[in-house]
Structure 1
Amino acid sequence: MAGDGEFHRDQKYLATRITADGRDGWPVEPGRYRLVIARACPWANRAAIVRRLMGLEGVLSLGIAGPIHDDRSWSFHLDPGGKDPVLGIELLQEAFFRRDPGYSRGITVPALVDVPTGQVVTNDFARITLDLGQEWAAHQRDGAPDLYPERLRDEIDDVAEKVFQDVNDGVYKCGFASTQEAYDKAYRRLWERLDWLEDRLGRRRYLVGDTITEADVRLFTTLARFDAVYHGHFKCNRQKLTELPALWAYARDLFQTPGFGDTIDFAQIKAHYYVVHHAINPTGIVPRGPDPRGWLTPHGREDLGGRPFGDGTPPGPPPESERVPPPA
């Protein structure tokens, strides 16, 4: 938190990469790594979606931290015995300390962990999804979509950066502002960008091009949490998502697309934000609403054309062990 009351995200991540050629010392190998996420976290949700869309479930295992954590780190409190069944650790912090015993930066998800050594390789959330789409190509399912087509990369990067600064991170800038001036500035930027997105998505089915891209993955995870958390908890309350016709229809379109809604657990999302953020919600009371069944209502976005997976195909159902409760 800066002296001006503005929230500034620490983005000093472990930037080593898992690549096809292993140039950072971490080569792509089926079964070697474990992707640790939390269902609650929007940044981790991105990685879960891309792993599903690429069909990497059989080569990259998934560890799921629970929604509640303390100052030390995310924990595996939902697993039997409170330990990740593959890594054998109670706290994600342990994997960071195995990489660097003096590690003093954020313990964040998503994190890719080298199973043989138990060390975190990277927690660079923006790079992880790009690499799952590009570096893991040899192990992707038949029909995996191209989420980052070369001809559209400049536009995808531009849109994704705007969305990150003003929406993905913008809701946090509202929620964690400690002065009225900082909050007002973040609130204004958030709603100017959401109005821009509302206009853009009123004319096209997806953010860039006529298929789902990395830009859509990045926006979706914030929209999925907007009414349940950000509208009230983070004071982003000019309107609800359900009151923005194009964005609400767009979000439902993606939610109903295989690989998106089947990674969303609204109960865990609300448990995390309302219980962990003591300074914002000191009572720890978790709201009962909103009713999530609206996510399954018709959206009509097919009328705008577009092909969700381009020349690819939808992913199959998630493994039984990774299924989340449907909206009810």
Structure 2
Amino acid sequence: MEQQGEQDAYVKKGAEYKRDMNYIDTRITKDGRDGYAVEPGRYRLVAARACPWANRAVIVRRLLGLEDAISMGLCGPTHDKRSWTFDLDPGGVDPVLGIERLQQAYFKRFPDYPRGITVPAIVDVPSGEVVTNEFQQMTLDFSTEWTDYHREGAPELYPERLRAEIDEMAHRNLTEVNNGVYRCGFAGSQEAYDEAFGRLFTRLDWLSDHLADRRYLVGDTITEADVRLFTTLARFDAVYHGHFKCNRQKLTELPVLWAYARDLFQTPGFGDTTDFVQIKQHYYIVHADVNPTQIVPVGPDLSGWLTPSGREALGGRPFGDGTPPGPPPAAEAVPPDHTPAAWT
């Protein structure tokens, strides 16, 4: 989602950062009302492990067991201003879509597409056309429209009785935290940075209080709200603290949030989709106006992600009446040397 289209810079001097929230809002639904019906094997999720917004879709797909219904293509951690690319695949070509750049799927449907080429995106394999890049609705539709293809024991990530509360929690976290770190990192003035910094840590303090005596954000199970917050927390010390100047404290210095994040990281579907090497490569190399040398730092020490969180003492049932997902398919596993286990 960080792709900036034809812009060379991420920071606009003298201005606050404003994310373009206009996405392709076509939906894939059971009734196919937008022209794209739920159909196993028809669609390909294009993601990048580096991107927090794409990481959400990868986690939800895995928790729900949609791997056989929706295939996945992974772009590399870096891109130019034109597009994310499939440089992890042999020959730099996605083996299913047969393209080198995600841009090609966008232009196949919209030849004059004017905005950034973002991940996550879902592509209609038969036509080769992008269907949607609306990252917020995408994961909700995985939960509500793809139910016929959920694995046995799939959790309810968006239970109807809690949807209003989940939506409110997710919205506040989006404005203050998920996008708040970008508002700090891409601020074009001291005033814009100071304001974003204050809002970010005010919300993190609120979340610390909220989670002090409850295991999850909403209800007593993992929901969409937890998925959305996790992908930002997972990147906090690795990139946001230093690269984006979100440096009042590290995540490891916020005891409640650090334990909450570790609890999720150690839950199947979360940590096993997180690639810290690609995360650091993306931010420090792609955001060249923020980090002109494009040097990727060696630190911080990330081995602490595997230490016990103690959060199980708060109760809660991670998957409700469901069960954890099994191991990820071998082709989708994070390389072992890109995980905290390699640094212990």
Q: With the length of structure 1 as denominator, give the TM-score of the two structures.
A: 0.99
Per the TM alignment, residue 291 of structure 1 is displaced from its structure 2 partner at its CA by 1.7
Q: Secondary structure at the match of 1:15?
A: coil
Structure 2 CA distance, aligned partners of 1:292 and 1:128?
30
**Higher alpha-carbon deviation: 150-159 or 297-306:** 150-159
Distance 1:60 1:292 in 2: 31
Deviations 1:205-234 (CA, angstroms, capped at 9, x unpaired): 000000000000000000000000000000
Q: Aligned match of 1:204 in 214, 226, 229?
A: 214
* Cα distance in structure 2, aligned partners of 1:257 and 1:5: 40
CA distance in 2, matches of 1:275, 1:172: 16
Equivalent position of 2:104 in the other structure: 94
The answer to whether residue 165 in structure 2 is matched with residue 159 in structure 1 is: no
Residue pair 1:229, 1:270 contacting (<8 A) in 2 also: yes
Structure 1 residue 217 corresponds to structure 2 residue 237: no
Identity over the aligned pairs, expressed in percent?
72
The one-letter code sitting in structure 2 at the alignment partner of 1:107 is I
2:79 is equivalent to residue 69 of structure 1: yes
8 Å CA contact 1:2, 1:8 repeated in 2 = no
Shift of 1:4: 5.5
Unmatched runs of 5 consecutive residues or more in structure 1? none
Give the distance between the partners of 2:49 and 2:25, measured in 1 at CA.
23
Q: Deviations over 1:71-98 (max 9, x none)?
A: 0010111110011111111110000000
2:155–2:320 CA contact under 8 A, matched in 1: yes
**What residue is the counterpart of 1:13 in the other structure?**
23
The answer to whether the Cα contact below 8 Å between 2:12 and 2:187 also exists between their aligned partners in 1 is: no
Task: Find runs of 4+ consecutive structure 1 residues off by over 6 angstroms.
Answer: none
Across the aligned residues of Structure 1 and Structure 2, the Cα RMSD in angstroms comes to: 0.9
Counterpart CA distance in 2 for 1:26 and 1:4 is: 43
- The answer to whether the 8 A contact 2:181-2:240 is kept is yes
- The 5 A counterparts of 1:93-132 are 93-132=103-142
* Structure 1: distance between partners of 2:160 and 2:299: 41
| TM-score scaled by length of structure 2 | 0.94
- Aligned with 2:122: secondary structure? strand
SS of the residue corresponding to residue 164 of structure 2 reads helix
Aligned residues of 2:119 and 2:133 also touching (Cα < 8 A): yes
For 1:317 and 1:21, how far apart are their aligned partners in 2? 32
Does the 8 A contact of 2:12 with 2:188 survive in 1?
no
SS of the residue corresponding to residue 62 of structure 1 reads: strand
| Conserved 8 A contact 1:171-1:230 | yes
Residue aligned with 1:129, SS = helix
Amino acid at match of 1:90: E
Shift of 1:250: 0.3
CA contact (8 A) 2:122 2:130 kept: yes
Which residues of 2 match residues 132-171 of structure 1 at below 5 A? 132-171=142-181
How many aligned positions are there?
328
Preserved CA contact (<8 Å) 1:207 1:216: yes
Q: Which amino acid aligns with 1:92?
A: L
Distance in 1, Cα, partners of 2:80 & 2:144: 34
Show CA shifts across 1:85-139 (max 9, x none).
1111111000000011011112100000000010000000000000001100000
